[in-house]
Amino acid sequence: MRSLCVHTFVFVWGVYNDEHGGRATFIRVIRSNPTTADWPAPVGAAMNRETENRGRWDMRSYQFDKYGEPLRAVEAETPAPAGRQVLVRVEACGVCHSDIHLWDGYFDLGDDRKADLSRSHSLPLTLGHEIVGEVAALGDQASGVNVGDKAVVYPWIGCGDCGACHSGGDHLCPRPHALGVNADGGYADHVMVPDARFLYAYGDVDTALACTYACSGITAYGALKKVRGRAEGRSLLIIGAGGVGLAGLMIAQAMMDTTIIVADIDEAKLATAKAAGADHVINPTADGARKELIGLTGGGANGAVDFVGSDKSAGFGMQALANGGMLIVVGLFGGSLKLSVPLLPLKNIMLGGSYVGSPEEMRELMDLVVAGKVKPLPVATRPLAEADQTLRDLRDGKIVGRMVLTP
């Protein structure tokens, strides 16, 4: 007869002050009667002596267990990888606008309608999908990487069994397991990756910059690929000069030869875009903005990407298109678009969407990045302990470029 061992768990609550001055509540999960056999396998040679000296409490993450509530620090045992899994020690994790929507628990669909995210997410959840780090340990079936390798983590992971996944469209899987979205992500000092094929080398690119290619980079690249055939040699309108929009500007300059116009309602962001290589910048709220754009492009933009995704930004994008033009919406700000349907055939214009990008597109992007063809995005760093405040600052529009958290 197999004996049953019953364990008691103790949850210890307190306040954590880190060496950077950050302050957050924390919860430590303690098994009160552990035995040697209870512990996971060692996490590998990449764990340094300082980490070993911290004992079993060497994994800290910042989670929320109620939508909209402050993030709190949680300490627990570092998990041991099994099978094809790879444990990555997080070195940097970008903060994205979609983190705010996930934190809120909904997307704004306009007309007082919301897309409820609570049905597809289990709480508590560790946010963070722009992850870069070092391989710390490997499952017994993992291959293709070694302990100590540095890599960007592709987070848009699917179930692995559906038609989308089998055709290379993991990001379009109807049963996603995306890190930081459906599974715990990079607002932590370790993250578990299900397979080494989701790890991409980043050469000598700065670590804080490298992580941004997992979302802002791949999102921009996937959208720009859709409009490249229309914009190449003619004109491209980029709407929104936030973190993803600026990434789009940098990547567009590497992907195609075209006149690039950047539109934003924030003059500081327009100045940043101009300094980063935009041929022209426009404030859509200024008098005569559409007329100016028509004049700059000789009839309208041939390709446009909306990195904001509001009713106003998409509306401006539709009005700015030339005959035969294409608008791709990427942003998730929210709203409801009023559309004059006859204009679609009369102007032969196309309206579409784009959601991040496939693993193959991630490889294509990282090839451009490692080759030095993509100019660096403005990146600033903050300690991981400031994750909660950073989300609030991003919501309030206080961040230009990309903000990256470092453990």
Number of H helices, E strands in the chain: 12, 20
Q: Is residue 87 part of a domain?
A: yes
The answer on 205 and 223 residing in a single domain is: no
The answer on 102 and 17 residing in a single domain is: yes
What per-residue confidence (pLDDT) applies to 21?
43
Question: Kind of pairing, strands 190-193 and 130-138?
Answer: unpaired
Distance CA 217, CA 196 (A): 20
Q: Is residue 41 part of a domain?
A: yes
CA distances from 135 to 141, 150, 181, 266, 374 (A): 15, 6, 21, 40, 25
The answer on 341 and 375 residing in a single domain is: no
Structure tokens at 344: 């679609």
Strands of the sheet with 259-263, listed across from one edge: 280-282, 259-263, 235-239, 301-306, 321-329, 350-353
Q: Is residue 162 part of a domain?
A: yes
Q: What is the pLDDT of residues 353-384, one digit of tens each?
A: 999 999 999 999 999 999 999 999 889 999 99
CATH of the domain at 123: 3.90.180.10
* Contact present, 190 and 87 (Cβ < 8 Å): yes
The answer on 160 and 36 residing in a single domain is: yes
CA distances from 372 to 89, 203, 224, 366 (A): 26, 10, 19, 10
The answer on 177 and 31 residing in a single domain is: yes
CA distances from 400 to 58, 210, 225, 354 (A): 33, 17, 25, 23
Q: Is residue 4 part of a domain?
A: no
Distance CA 260, CA 267 (A): 17
The answer on 124 and 25 residing in a single domain is: yes
Q: Is residue 79 part of a domain?
A: yes
* Mean per-residue pLDDT, 295-308: 97
Structure tokens at 34: 């552990």
Dihedral Cα 100, 106, 108, 113, nearest 10 deg: -160
Question: Among 227, 293, 217, which Cα is nearest to 249's?
Answer: 217
The reply to whether omega before 124 is within 30° of 0 (cis) is yes
Question: Among 290, 292, 345, 352, which Cα is nearest to 323's?
Answer: 345
pLDDT at 26 over 50: no
CATH of the domain at 335: 3.40.50.720
The answer on 178 and 273 residing in a single domain is: no
What's the total number of domains in the chain?
A: 2
Strand ranges, E, within 240-334: 259-263, 280-282, 301-306, 321-329
The answer on 130 and 22 residing in a single domain is: yes
Q: Is residue 3 part of a domain?
A: no
Q: Is residue 1 part of a domain?
A: no
The pLDDT > 90 percentage for the chain reads 77
Check residue 222 and report its DSSP letter.
H
The answer on 207 and 340 residing in a single domain is: no
The answer on 182 and 57 residing in a single domain is: yes
The answer on 79 and 182 residing in a single domain is: yes
Q: Is residue 257 part of a domain?
A: yes
- Ramachandran region, residue 212 (left: φ > 0; alpha: ψ -120 to 50; beta: rest): alpha
The answer on 101 and 73 residing in a single domain is: yes
* Contact present, 355 and 169 (Cβ < 8 Å): no
Better-scored residue on pLDDT, 43 or 303: 303
Q: What is the largest CA-CA distance in the chain?
A: 83
Which structural domain range is residue 29 located in? 9-215+358-406
Half-sphere exposure of 244 (CA within 13 A, CB side): 31
Q: What are the backbone dihedrals phi and psi of residue 211, each rounded to the nearest 5 degrees, phi first?
A: -65, -30
Q: What is the pLDDT of residues 130-181, one digit of tens each?
A: 999 999 999 999 999 999 999 999 999 999 999 999 999 999 999 999 999 9
Better-scored residue on pLDDT, 27 or 330: 330
Question: Among 197, 192, 196, 198, which Cα is nearest to 79's?
Answer: 192
Better-scored residue on pLDDT, 55 or 406: 406
Length of the chain (residues): 407
* Contact present, 222 and 359 (Cβ < 8 Å): no
What per-residue confidence (pLDDT) applies to 7?
39
What per-residue confidence (pLDDT) applies to 20?
40
Strand ranges, E, within 182-300: 190-193, 199-200, 235-239, 259-263, 280-282
* Mean per-residue pLDDT, 50-57: 40
DSSP H or E run through 74:
strand 72-76
